[in-house]
Amino acid sequence: MRYDSLLDSLGKTPLVGLPRISPDPTARLWAKLEDRNPTGSVKDRAAFYMVAQAEKDGLLRPGSTLLEPTSGNTGISLAMVAKLRGYQMICVMPENTSAERRQLLEMYGAEIIFSPAAGGSNEAVRVAKGLAAEHPDWVMLYQYGNEANALAHYETTGPEILADLPSITHFVAGLGTTGTLMGTGRYLREHVPGVQIVAAEPRYGELVYGLRNIDEGFVPELYDASVLTSRFSVTSTDALRRARELLDREGLFAGISSGAALHAALAMADKAVAAGQEADVVVVIADGGWRYLSTGAYTGTLEEAEARLEGQLWA
């Protein structure tokens, strides 16, 4: 396959069967390999669409500065797009994210502003919103509320999946900004009667939830619960265990959030088997395991890895 440039190669990722990990020949799992995107994550789709929309809306000029609360993948994707389109990039992220992400951001020329670890990404969002108010010429595309994020999936991810697997019964993905689930979910629900849209939400350690007032929580503006049919909370232990299983049994080296999505996908596949129903379950592999190596997730015993992940943001 040939493309005129890196950005043109965006998306069109493989859908790969997981025959060894599928519980039964009648309940098949299929991995959508989003690590096969230009910077190695599903966020490339959202980043490209958000920048393209901002350009169409006349918000960006050569040399414009982009600002974004992001602990990694979106920042990396945006930094790449910014570099290729001639913009400056500033990322606000919590100080407790993995070293690889910081390095990649800096390599792509992004400037990083760190927010305190305690308070996690809520704090990064708060800090970024404050900075955006102080610098009206900076453009905050705001992945948590920008409809172009979900639109990327409505227009690309969803149609790709349906074309590859018309018999799809379940779509399972990690829940973060909610863009993947909202966009792909809406598309699939419009075209596949009865399709299940299943969210796998990471459950972090206590440090991340912290002592913030429970009334000051955060729900991404993109989130519309009516698009989902189920939502699971997945612990780091389960996510890690599944990520390791994926590598052991299918040779697929995936990030930890993919392990969380797989955990939920297996639960749905098991339910289908118990109900005597056929299932074709698509699970999103949002990125590869590379950006998590320094977290210690893939070395030692599961218990040791889980202890190391405590307090870290793994998805």
Binding site for another protein (CB under 8 A): 43, 69-74, 93, 97-98, 101, 120-122, 124-125, 143-144, 176-177, 199, 201-204, 206, 208-220, 225, 228-234, 313-315
Angle at 18 between CA 168 and CA 259, to 5 degrees: 95
Residue with smaller CB distance to another protein, 208 or 279: 208
**Catalytic-role residue among 43, 71, 77, 258:** 43
Query: Which H helix or E strand runs over 279?
Result: strand 279-285
Residues 6+ apart with CB under 8 A from 268: 170, 172, 196, 198, 230, 279, 281
Instruction: Find the shortest distance in angstroms from Cβ 224 to another protein.
Output: 12
Distance CA 140, CA 155 (A): 23
111: left (phi over 0), alpha (psi -120 to 50) or beta: beta
Q: What are the beta bridge partners of residue 200?
A: 174, 232
Shortest spacing between CB 89 and another protein, in angstroms? 15
Report the nearest approach of another protein to the CB of residue 166 (Å).
26
Could you confirm whether 258 is annotated as catalytic? Answer: no
Other residues' Cβ atoms within 10 Å of the Cβ of residue 178: 26
- Shortest separation between residue 40's beta carbon and another protein, angstroms: 14
Side-chain half-sphere CA neighbours of 48 within 13 A: 18
165 versus 286: smaller Cβ distance to another protein = 286
Of the candidates 22, 115, 257, 258, the residue annotated as catalytic is 257
CB atoms within 10 A of CB 137: 7
In angstroms, give the least distance from the CB of 267 to another protein: 9
Full DSSP string of 162-175: HHH-TT--EEEEE-
Q: Is 226 a catalytic residue?
A: no
Q: Quote the tokens at residue 35.
A: 């690590």
d(CA 232, CA 294): 27
**Closer residue to another protein, CB minimum distance, 1 or 211:** 211
* 260 and 241 Cβ atoms separated by less than 8 Å: no
CB-nearer residue toward another protein: 244 or 291: 291
Q: Which is nearer to another protein, 124 or 165 (CB)?
A: 124
Least separation in angstroms between CB 180 and another protein: 10
State which residue, 65 or 230, has the beta carbon closest to another protein.
Answer: 230
Active site amino acids? 43, 257
